[in-house]
């Protein structure tokens, strides 16, 4: 029960990494608030966890509506009186228009960077006001290894995640005076519905060649890292940009080719 009685707010929490994080935090004793646009789906997932004996509620948040970041936070404060941990999990991209540098649609680029950055900046800004009054807290941003290593596509998504990595460090430095920590978790290729929907089998297999652990990550594995940053076990860790990617990006750029040759010997 590493998160016993902590109040945790998690955005984009009805599927994938977000839902896995809700479950992991609830099982560690936290009171979890699921922030979601689809309240029907949030209620369904919350009810399931409540039936298992966990403390889970839901609040409305639409990433495209700036005011909902304010009301989302206020709803948690009205109900629980505080926010101990904020997990900024929201992130989106437009695979059909977010291509390489020359071919990415300009409006799609600006829209993606805007909404992804806003989701972290606004929710953090609101949560910090209440965390500071209570003597501290923890903010955890779900970024991406794509924010560290330039890809051949998804220019807007990668740029937004790189900016979130910087913003993570900035919040950590600026809010240390209020005992508020801020860290980022950078998943690599993770077995979520979004990956299944947006990436072809051919691309997934090509990508896996460059992951030393030779597999995709699981949402539950990302969630366990979030639990660490949410818990007092990481009380002296702030401003950290932690990749959870199976070793992707560590090896020589020709790792995949060399690994294939060695395995055939």
Positive or negative: CA dihedral 209, 214, 220, 224: negative
Of 157, 166, 236, 255, which is the active-site residue?
A: 157
| Interatomic CA distance for residues 199 and 204, integer angstroms | 7
Q: Where are the alpha helices (DSSP H) in the chain?
A: 16-27, 39-51, 67-80, 106-133, 155-175, 193-198, 201-208, 219-230, 255-263
Can you say how many angstroms the Cα of residue 216 is from the centroid of all Cα atoms in its chain? 16
Question: Which DSSP category does 95 fall into?
Answer: T
Catalytic, 130? Answer: no
Can you say how many angstroms the Cα of residue 244 is from the centroid of all Cα atoms in its chain? 11
Distances (CA, A) of 263 to 102, 103, 137, 253, 257: 37, 37, 47, 17, 10
| Interatomic CA distance for residues 115 and 110, integer angstroms | 9
Q: Are 153 and 99 in contact (CB under 8 A)?
A: yes
Q: Which residues are catalytic?
A: 157
């Amino acid at each position: 029960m590493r998160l016993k009685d902590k109040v945790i707010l998690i955005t984009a929490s009805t599927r994938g990494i977000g839902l896995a994080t809700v479950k992991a935090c609830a099982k560690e004793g936290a009171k979890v608030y699921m922030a979601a646009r689809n309240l029907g789906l949030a209620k369904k997932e919350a009810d399931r966890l409540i039936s298992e004996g966990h403390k889970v509620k839901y609040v409305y948040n639409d990433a495209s509506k700036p005011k909902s970041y304010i009301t989302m936070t206020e709803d948690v404060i009205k109900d629980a009186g505080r926010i101990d941990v904020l997990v900024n999990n929201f992130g989106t991209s437009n695979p059909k228009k977010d291509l390489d540098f020359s071919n990415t649609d300009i409006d799609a680029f600006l829209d993606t960077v805007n909404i992804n950055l806003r989701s972290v900046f606004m929710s953090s800004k609101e949560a910090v006001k209440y965390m500071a009054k209570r003597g501290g807290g923890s903010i955890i941003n779900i970024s991406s290894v794509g924010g560290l290593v330039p890809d051949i596509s998804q220019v807007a998504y990668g740029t937004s995640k790189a900016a979130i990595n910087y913003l993570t460090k900035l919040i950590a430095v600026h809010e240390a005076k209020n005992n508020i920590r801020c860290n980022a978790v950078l998943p690599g290729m993770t077995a979520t519905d979004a990956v299944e929907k947006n990436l072809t089998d051919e691309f997934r297999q090509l990508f896996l060649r460059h992951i030393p652990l030779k597999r995709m990550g699981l949402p539950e594995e990302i969630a366990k890292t979030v639990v660490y940053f949410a818990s007092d076990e990481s009380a002296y860790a702030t401003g950290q940009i932690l990749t959870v990617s199976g070793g992707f990006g560590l090896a020589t750029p020709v790792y995949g080719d060399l690994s294939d040759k060695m395995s055939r010997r």
